[in-house]
Amino acid sequence: MITKRIVPCLDVKDGRVVKGIQFVELRDAGDPVELAKVYDEQGADELVFLDISASHEGRKTMVEVVQDVASQLAIPFTVGGGINSLEDMKRILRAGADKVSLNTAAVLNPELITIGADYFGTQCIVIAIDAKWDEALGSWRVYTHGGRQKTDREVISWAQEAVERGAGEILLTSMDRDGEKRGFDLALTKAISEAVSVPVIASGGAGEAQHFFEVFTEGLADAALAASIFHYKETSVSEVKNFLKARGVNMR
């Protein structure tokens, strides 16, 4: 049986971890290196580091901060933000990342997924998808540039294309639920989990341990990502994992 993973996320802007609601109203949440160390000690299964303004500002991810965070970790580490080429991927992996996360660049140039997967292997390539329900579309729409730009892509078909091109994992964020702490978008997560053959990391909406249970059992997610409830010490990774284990969820 596949084990489920708990994945804290560091959304980094100007060298600091920040968190907002539906991608706006960002507030400071601490130092990324210190938080990485805490999550490693708490038993996090992996860590995700997203330089959330890199693509919007047209610059590269902060290699120095990535190196500093990687030095604190003994767990797999995914880095995203401003990665637009094979050279960018090499730079981030050399800095200590285990996987690279592509979002805006992959939508603008889908061939980049294949290039990365061919060079590093599919296990290295995570496709991050920012999804928002669109009434006119009757489904979820893909957004890019840190949730700022609407695209003409529908989320399920984009996830399937990304996997066909070589994505080894999907990091799926519900923009509708992001930062609201009222639970993951179970319909969205289930739709993607059933549509692709690779692991799906659910993101957006975690507010309590029960929400993780729901996204694993009803949403069929392979992993669940959270930020603010961990950053602001509303609960801890170890507390969530103990809650899930007590309810029969097979945790890593």
User: Would you please indicate which residues are annotated as catalytic (active-site) residues?
Assistant: 11, 130
Entry field: residues in the chain: 252
How far is residue 2's CA from residue 30's CA, in Å, rounded to a whole number? 33
How far is residue 145's CA from residue 130's CA, in Å, rounded to a whole number? 9
Q: How open is the CA angle 14-24-232, to the nearest 5 degrees? A: 70
Sign, CA torsion 187/192/197/199? negative
Sign, CA torsion 140/146/152/156? negative
* CB neighbourhood size of 58 (10 A): 10
* CB neighbourhood size of 158 (10 A): 22
Sign, CA torsion 174/59/32/201? positive
> What type of residue is 83?
I
Short-list 105, 112, 55, CA closest to 81:
55
Q: Is 130 exposed, middle or buried (0-12, 13-18, 19+ CB in 10 A)?
A: buried
